[in-house]
Amino acid sequence: MAAKFDTPELFDNIEIIDTPRYAVDSMAHSRPYPAKPQHNESLGFPGELVDNWEEKAVTRLGELVDGSRALRTFLDSCVKCGACTDKCHYYLGTKDPKNMPVARQDLLRSIYRRYYTFSGKYFPKLVGARDMDKSVLDEWYSYFHQCSQCRRCSVFCPYGIDTAEISMAARDIMDSVGLGQKYCNEILGKLQTIGNNLGLPEKALINTLEDLEEEVEEDTGVAVKYPVDVKGADVLLIVPSADFFAEPHIDGLIGYGKVFHQAGISWTLSSYASEAANFSMFIGSGDNLKKVAQRIRDAAEELGVKRIIVGECGHAWRVAYSFWNTLVGPFDFLDPNYPAPQHIVEFTYDLIQRGALNLDKEANDHRRITFHDSCNVARASRMGNMPGGQFILPRALITASANHFFDMSPETIHENTFCCGGGGGLLTDDLMEIRIKGAMPRMQALKQVVDEHDVNSMVAICAICKAQFSKALPAYQFPMGMITSLHQVVGDAIQLGTKT
Amino acid sequence: MALEVGGKSIATDEEGYLENRDEWDMEVAKAIAVAENLEMSDNHWEVVNFLREYYDEYQIAPAVRVLTKAIGKKLGKDKGNSKYLYELFPYGPAKQACKIAGLPKPTGCV
C-alpha cells in the first residue's frame, strides 16, 4: 500500500484552474511496480535489465526516431515557449515541475540530443544534452509513468508536439532493455492468453452473462439477452472486460443489451476477443498492438458478423478508429453500409435519429448530469459524420434520455478535457497518489457544476475513467456513485416492451 | 515480501496478495485482514468463503454484481448491494476481499 499523501484542496468559485507554485521533485518517489520477468518475456521483451542497457537504450531510441518522422520532429522542434507548462493535470495536481509537458519531453530529448544531434555530441552542456545513465533511467521510470498520454498539452503547443508519443517511445525503450511496468505488462499477457485484461475465462464469462440476464429480467420483466459466441449474428460487440466485472461499468453493458433488444438487431460478444482495451498503445509496442487487434478481426471472421461495434472504452476507440485498418485491415468482409468499426454511441445515436428507441426522459429525473469527455475519444478520434461528433453524439444521447444536463466549464471539456487521472496505464493501486492528485482539475470543474446546478451524476464513456473516478470522487468528498455509464442513462430511459 | 503466520512464512507479492493460493487458511486470512486494518466478522467470512468457492469453479473472482447477488441471497436482500460490501471491505470488495481470500488481484480497468 502506498504511503499516505494529502489530497489537493478544491477551491470555491474558481473559474479557471490556478497555476500552482513549484514543488521541486515532489513526485520523484512515485514509481510503479516493475514487471516480473515472465510478464516481460511473454510480450517479447527481456525479462530483466540487460547488460549494456545504456547502449541498447540509446540504440533503440535511434531506431525509433529513424522509424518515426513525427517523433524526431517532436524532439527537434520545441522552442521552450512555455505554452504547455500549466496544461498537464499531473503538474496542476502535484506542482512538480518535471510534470510540465516540456520538462517531461526533455527527459527523453536530452538523451536524443546527446547521441543524435551535432550540437549535443560536441557541446552537450550548451544544449542540455545528457549521457544515458542510471539516474536518467530512474527518472524516466518515475516521470514517464506520471503521463497518462492524454494529449491535452499538444492542443496548446504551437508546434503540435505530442507528449504522448514521447512517453510511449520512452516506455518502449524501457521495455526493450527489460524494465517493464507490472500493471500494463501483466495485463497484456493475460489478454493474449485468456482473451481479456481481467483473465476472465470463457466459463466465467458465460456464467456472468447468464446471471446478468436473470437480473435484467427480474428488474424489467423483459428477457433481454447478453449472447456470446453466436455465429451469424449481425453485430460483434467488443467491450472492455471491466464491463463484465466492475461497477458502474456493468450498468453500461446492461444498457447496450437493452438498446440491441429494442432495436431488434442480433448481436454477440466473443469469448476469444472479450476485450476492447489494448494496453500495447500505452507501452508503445507496435508488435503487441497488432497481435491484440488481430484477435478481434479473427473473432469477427470466425463468427461471420456483418458489423463490429466498440463499447465504452476510450483508448480502445482510438486504437479501433485510428489504427485497426492499418494494423489488421482492410475490413472488407463487413457490410460496407456501416462504419467499420462503429462506436456504440454512434449506433445508439443513429437508432434515436430514426425513432427506433422509445425513451422516457423522466426515468432519469433523479439524475442531474454532467459529461466527462475521455481524452482518447476527445483528442484522438471522431464519431459520427460531422466535425466534433465525438463531443456532440454522447451529449445527444444524454439529452435524449434525461431532462437535466449541465456541461462543465468550457476550458475543461471537448478537446480541452482534463484526463480523469488514471489513463495511459496508470490505473493501478501502486500509483494512487499521482492518480488522486492528477484528478484535481477535473474534480475542480465538477465541484463548480455541483455547486451551481446540484449535479449528482458524472457520465463517462471509458472504463478507465469509470474505475478511476470510483477512487477519485470519494478522495475529494464526492459520492462514489456519481460516476455513471452513458448506456446506463440510455438503458434506464428505454421503455422495454413497447414497440417503436 | 512475506507474511508471518503461526511460525510459518507465507510469500506475498508487493501488495500483499498471496503468491500461492494453496497456502491459504483461516489464520492466514486473519493475518491479511489485520494488515488491512479489518476485523473479520461472520459476514466478512461469508464473502471470503463465497469468493473462494467461486474461484475454485471458475478460476477467477466473481464479478461485483455476481457477488452482490450471492451475498443478498445468503445474508438478506438489504445486504445484496455494493454499498454494504464497501462497508465490509472499505478498499473495495473486489480487491480487498480477494486479497483476504488469498486470490490473485483482479486486473484491468477495475
In tens, the pLDDT along A194-213 reads 999 999 999 999 999 999 99
Q: What's the confidence (pLDDT) of residue A14?
A: 57
- Mean pLDDT across the stretch A370-384? 98
Domain-embedded: residue A25: no
Contact B109 A1 (CB under 8 A): no
Contact A429 B108 (CB under 8 A): no
DSSP calls for A2-45: PPP-PPPPP-SS-SSPPPPPP-TTTTTT--PPBPPHHHHHHTTS
Cβ neighbours for A32, distance < 8 A, ≥ 6 positions apart: A141, A145, A181, A182, A183, A426, A428, A430, A431
Q: How far is B93 from chain A (nearest CA, A)?
A: 10
How many domains are contained in chain A? Answer: 2
Minimal Cβ distance to B110: which of A186, A215, A246 = A246
Q: What is the pLDDT of residues A238-267, one digit of tens each?
A: 999 999 999 999 999 999 999 999 999 999
Q: What is the pLDDT of residues A401-453, one digit of tens each?
A: 999 999 999 999 999 999 999 999 999 999 999 999 999 999 999 999 999 99
CB-based contact, A101 to chain B, within 8 Å: no
Angle (CA) A239-B110-A271 rounded to 5° is 35
- Mean pLDDT across the stretch A366-380? 98
CB-based contact, A196 to chain B, within 8 Å: yes
* The three grid cell numbers given for residue B92, joined into one nine-digit string: 473495495
Domain-embedded: residue A11: no
Residues A91 and A167 in one domain: yes
Q: What's the confidence (pLDDT) of residue B48?
A: 97
Q: At A157, is the pLDDT very low, low, confident or very high (cuts 50, 70, 90)?
A: very high
Q: What's the confidence (pLDDT) of residue A498?
A: 83
- Mean pLDDT across the stretch A331-350? 97
Q: At A1, is the pLDDT very low, low, confident or very high (cuts 50, 70, 90)?
A: very low
Residues of B in contact with A1 (CB under 8 A): 15-16
The residue assigned the cell 494512487 is A432
Q: How far apart are CA A83 and CA A300, in angstroms?
A: 44
Q: How far is A359 from chain B (nearest CA, A)?
A: 25
**Cα dist. A145→A156, A166, A282, B54 in Å?**
22, 12, 10, 35
Q: How far is B6 from chain A (nearest CA, A)?
A: 23
CB-based contact, B26 to chain A, within 8 Å: no
Three-state DSSP class for residue A459: strand
- The ipTM, to two decimals, is 0.96
Domain-embedded: residue A24: no
Residues of B in contact with A253 (CB under 8 A): none
Domains of chain B from N-terminus onward: 2-100 (1.10.10.370)
The lowest-confidence range among A6-20, A280-294, A339-353 is A6-20
Q: At A497, is the pLDDT very low, low, confident or very high (cuts 50, 70, 90)?
A: confident
Residues A276 and A175 in one domain: no
Domain-embedded: residue A9: no
The count of other CB atoms within 10 Å of the CB of residue A251 is 19
Residues A242 and A161 in one domain: no
- B16, with CB counted inside 10 A (0-12, 13-18, 19+), is middle
Domain-embedded: residue A210: yes
Q: Is the per-residue pLDDT at A500 higher than 90?
A: no
Which range marks the domain in which residue A477 is found? 187-493
Active site residues of B: 109
Q: How far apart are CA A276 and CA A285, in angstroms?
A: 17
Q: What's the confidence (pLDDT) of residue B1?
A: 82
Contact B64 A203 (CB under 8 A): no
Minimal Cβ distance to A467: which of B63, B69, B109 = B109
Residues A141 and A206 in one domain: no
Contact B110 A467 (CB under 8 A): yes
Q: How far apart are CA A59 and CA A6, in angstroms?
A: 41
**Cα dist. A199→A230, A271, A309, A352, B68 in Å?**
21, 11, 22, 35, 20
Q: How far is B60 from chain A (nearest CA, A)?
A: 6
Residues A304 and A356 in one domain: yes
Which residue among A137, A163, A180 closes a domain? Answer: A180
The residue assigned the cell 446471471 is A211
Q: Is the per-residue pLDDT at A16 higher than 70?
A: no
Contact B63 A429 (CB under 8 A): no
CB-based contact, A66 to chain B, within 8 Å: no
Domain-embedded: residue A351: yes
Residues A61 and A136 in one domain: yes
CB-based contact, B78 to chain A, within 8 Å: no
Residues A294 and A146 in one domain: no
- Mean pLDDT across the stretch A34-49? 98
Give residue A261's identity as a one-letter amino acid code. H
Could you tell me which of A147, A178, A185, A140 has the C-alpha nearest to residue A165? Answer: A147
The residue assigned the cell 451551481 is A452
Test mutation, B53, B66, B109, B110, chain A, max A CBs within 10 A:
B109
Which residue among A159, A180, A201 closes a domain? Answer: A180
> Average pLDDT, whole number, for chain A?
96
Q: How far is A131 from chain B (nearest CA, A)?
A: 32
Q: What's the confidence (pLDDT) of residue A89?
A: 97
Beta bridge partners of A473: none
Distance of CA A472 to the CA centre of its chain: 16
> Average pLDDT, whole number, for chain B?
95
Check which CATH number belongs to the domain holding A95 and give it: 1.10.1060
Which residue among A180, A203, A220 closes a domain? Answer: A180
Q: What's the confidence (pLDDT) of residue A12?
A: 74
DSSP assigned state of A268:
E
Domain-embedded: residue A31: no
Contact A277 B109 (CB under 8 A): yes
